[in-house]
Chain A
Amino acid sequence: MATTTTYIQLNNDRRKKLTDENEEIYGDILLYVRSSNVDQRAGEELLMELLEHLIEAQDRRKRAVDVFGSDPKEYCKSLVDELPKESVPSKILFFIYMFSYGVMWMFGTMGVIEFLFPSLKQPIALSHLVLFGALFITIPAAAIVLMKQLAFSKERSKQAAWSGVALSIILLPYAIFLLAPSTGEVVIAPWVYVVIALLLFIGTRLLKQKVFD
């Protein structure tokens, strides 16, 4: 049985056959379905089916609007309503994955920097660590909500919103360091960071198969 990842790769590949106009409408449908609360596999199977239909329709000189109607957002809603919902365990698994992935990168970077530049080494507040952890859950969650809102909106507003997300990813850690009270300062040896990062690397690899099965 094909995995969700295979579907996504195949979809990216087949999508190249679409004309620019059809690609734009299909791209929004893709965004809407993927950011909805639906079972991942069922969602990808449907997206694949719609894509193949659109490619065949395109060969007969039909346009996306002939296939999906003049109100594609409404059409998407009618599809999402009928798709099976994502189960709670798989939702939890997804957020554990995102959280571990974020922490892996943070600890990995901190460990390597402190190894290379020991003079930069300084104690870290537990309160800051907790806030960072919270970011790794709230940012992906906010991005999913935003993605659904942005489907079928203008290219310019999409770009503006994603710039906002990128900016907040860069600025929020500084804001935490500068503004949040630092309680419970601890000194963590660089190798501890690296070991945790390595363990999380293995963990996320294993988890990836479950999250994107």
Chain B
Amino acid sequence: MNKSQMLKGVLEGCILAVIEEKPTYGYELYVKLSDQGLESVSEGSIYPVLLRIQKEGLIEGTLVKSTNGPNRKYYSLTDKGKEALARFKEEWEKLAGSVSHILLKGRSKMNGHNHHIHSAEQ
């Protein structure tokens, strides 16, 4: 499975989690995500997600103007966003638990199988 496809589904939750820590602007958000290991997030792909969750009322943006430097839009979590993040964490924990269970069980089975072949060869 394409790594970026897998990432797409969890990107929204990760963005909410980063914004929860402190109000963040687009570029900073990308840097934080990639520093924490989500390197395969292409830089621009955060913006459609930001627009969508802004439309859903999970985050809100405030433009902070500076006289000669860049104008940055800082995103912060709304109450609705906090609820969504809590739900995401809960669902993720359940999902991550079951997925690793399935994957690890599969691996131990396979190991057992390999072991069996190995011992038969002996």
Contact = CB atoms under 8 A, between A and B. Distances in A.
B71 A48 contact: yes
Interface in B34-67: 42-45, 47-48, 51-52, 55, 61, 63, 65
A49 interface: yes
Report whether over half of chain B's contact residues are helix, strand or loop; otherwise say mixed. Answer: helix
Contacts, number: 55
Report whether over half of chain A's contact residues are helix, strand or loop; otherwise say mixed. Answer: helix
Given A2-B63, A45-B63, A50 B55 contact: no
B27 A52 contact: yes
Contact of A69 (B26, B42, B63, B65): B42
Interface residues on chain B, size class? 20 to 34
A159 B63 CA distance: 36
Interface stretch (A74-82, A94-102, A114-122, A174-182): A74-82
B48 to A, nearest CB: 4
B73 interface: yes
B82 interface: no
B73 to A, nearest CB: 5
A52 B71 contact: yes
10 contacts: A49-B26, A52-B72, A55-B70, A56-B27, A56-B70, A66-B43, A67-B42, A67-B43, A67-B44, A69-B45
Interface of A: 2, 10, 14, 45-46, 48-50, 52-53, 55-57, 62, 66-69, 75, 78-79, 81-84
